[in-house]
Structure 1
């Protein structure tokens, strides 16, 4: 089952569920946030809550998307309490290069490896621990809060000072923290982890700067477990021309870490278990147009899709005007 959130009136929301080829409005629950809290209170699943709610009016997700009515699949009433984070160096790469990558990393001497390759090898060796054991922690970064999130179809705005404006096709886990501080996974969604790869490549210590950019996730929220082997596509359209089109692989089959290990290391921090907060945590990628030599520009449209997630995630690129910021003494 998948869920979307749709604009209703000026500021309202409604939830639409899709199961197979049927889509309908979920009565009695205005938002996915409310639906998740209700499921926690009743000690049940969101899918069970949707089933018990019955079926409202029929819906057509594609028409809703075309009309610009779909927003992010999960929002928080206070955007400051939606936290966007992510992990890197978690994916093995394409099927064609995976074996070569393993051999190169395994045979290299420790002193010849970059910090990034050391971390990647740590993931290969300890990112998939046996159940009940602690695995190696991944690379981790902060992207922003709910104000950094662009709805599906809305522009991803690159700051004027940016040196690159590149997509990263990923899957994100969507979580909510219960009243007792326990994290609950709501589901999974496609996410464009928009970044500045030129800044990142100049010095890996600038990774934090490169990630402070908007992102977009959705349009649909996949309930239940994440499929182990996901084959999607990442494209960039410039007018009527497709200037980039490559597959991206995700799911644990294509990762050096388990989802559980990434979750364990994120939520081990008590500050990330604040009751009521929403977390959007992206799991990394191995496909970048930047690596293929593509230089994006305003007006380009990013498109990320995978069959398991229904509708594609599309966002045009826009560049912000220059700002002059002056710090004033009080």
Structure 2
């Protein structure tokens, strides 16, 4: 089951169930937002799919019209954007077979590895502990980063805007875990979505300690929220179009079959911190990727469009690239 959040032509928020071969949205009548739906599921100790099945519906809408009219919303958000925490993990994916083969040739030479390569090696060795798929024994810690709050999350079809000072605005096709913290502090996974984690790779490449600066900017998630388990082997395509021309396109792999960590391990090392178990908060957590256009020498330009798609997530996530106007920030003393 895939859900979507939209605005109706009257400006009201609605949750839609993707149906009709992906062309029609059945609008729910009981819940106006996925946040409310997830809160109700936690309170009733029922699955989201069960609550959706019991909702008789409030008519339908055309998926194509929603896209054309710019009425898409992020599939899970919080009424107060400050209570939506956006984070991610890196060095979690195995990459292509060739990359793995090359990696295995040097994994034993720890003294020659960068810190990033050492962390990747540690993930291969300890990111999937026995029983870890069910949230059992914790494995090795992954790389982790903070990206922002709900104010930086952009819906599909809306511009991804890099800061005026950015050296680059590059895509990162990733799976995003979408969570809501229950009243007793228990994190609940609402579902999964495609995400474009969007970073400044040129800044990051200058020095890995600049990673935080490369991440503090917008991202995009959606348009659909997959309810239920994530396929073990997710295969998708990431592309960049300039005008009517595709200037770069590449397949990407995700899902636990293509990762060096169980998702449960990534979740454990995020939610083990008490500040991330504040009741009512939403968390959007990016799981990482091994496919980036920057590694092929591509430099996206304002007006280019990112497109990320994978069959399990329905329609592609599409965003044009923009650059913010120059801004001067002055700190004043009181």
The TM-score by the shorter chain falls in which range? Answer: over 0.9
The equivalent of 2:279 in structure 1 is 275
Distance in 2 separating the partners of 1:277 and 1:172 = 16
The equivalent of 2:243 in structure 1 is 239
The answer to whether the Cα contact below 8 Å between 2:161 and 2:323 also exists between their aligned partners in 1 is yes
Return the match for 2:79 from 77, 80, 83. Answer: 77
The equivalent of 1:137 in structure 2 is 141
The answer to whether the Cα contact below 8 Å between 1:105 and 1:117 also exists between their aligned partners in 2 is no
The equivalent of 1:106 in structure 2 is 107
CA offsets, 1:65-121, max 9 Å, x none?
Answer: 2221111001110000001000000000023433332x22433x2111100000000
Distance in 1 separating the partners of 2:221 and 2:328 = 30
The equivalent of 2:36 in structure 1 is 34
Specify the SS of the correspondent of 1:59: strand
The equivalent of 2:311 in structure 1 is 307
Return the match for 1:163 from 145, 148, 167. Answer: 167
Distance in 1 separating the partners of 2:249 and 2:284 = 26
Determine whether 1:172 maps to 2:176. yes
TM-score normalised per structure 1: 0.97
The answer to whether the Cα contact below 8 Å between 1:84 and 1:146 also exists between their aligned partners in 2 is yes
Unpaired runs of 5+ in structure 2? none
The answer to whether the Cα contact below 8 Å between 1:62 and 1:311 also exists between their aligned partners in 2 is no
Return the match for 1:51 from 50, 53, 63. Answer: 53
Distance in 2 separating the partners of 1:172 and 1:209 = 20
CA offsets, 1:288-329, max 9 Å, x none?
Answer: 011110011110000000010001000000001111111111
- 1:141: how far off? 0.2
Tell me: CA distance 1:18–1:127, structure 2 relative to 1, closer, same or farther (3 Å): same
Tell me the matched-pair count. Answer: 328
Determine whether 1:7 maps to 2:11. no
Specify the SS of the correspondent of 1:70: coil
The equivalent of 1:146 in structure 2 is 150
The equivalent of 1:217 in structure 2 is 221
The equivalent of 1:120 in structure 2 is 120
- 1:64: how far off? 1.5
Determine whether 1:258 maps to 2:259. no
Distance in 2 separating the partners of 1:56 and 1:96 = 51
The answer to whether the Cα contact below 8 Å between 2:27 and 2:60 also exists between their aligned partners in 1 is yes
Distance in 2 separating the partners of 1:105 and 1:73 = 41
- 1:130: how far off? 1.1
TM-score normalised per structure 2: 0.96
The answer to whether the Cα contact below 8 Å between 1:173 and 1:282 also exists between their aligned partners in 2 is yes
Return the match for 1:189 from 193, 198, 203. Answer: 193
The answer to whether the Cα contact below 8 Å between 1:158 and 1:319 also exists between their aligned partners in 2 is yes
Specify the SS of the correspondent of 1:303: strand
The answer to whether the Cα contact below 8 Å between 1:233 and 1:305 also exists between their aligned partners in 2 is yes
CA offsets, 1:153-189, max 9 Å, x none?
Answer: 1101111111111000000000000000000000000
1:11-30 counterparts in 2 under 5 A? 12-19=12-19, 21=21, 23-30=25-32
The answer to whether the Cα contact below 8 Å between 1:89 and 1:139 also exists between their aligned partners in 2 is yes
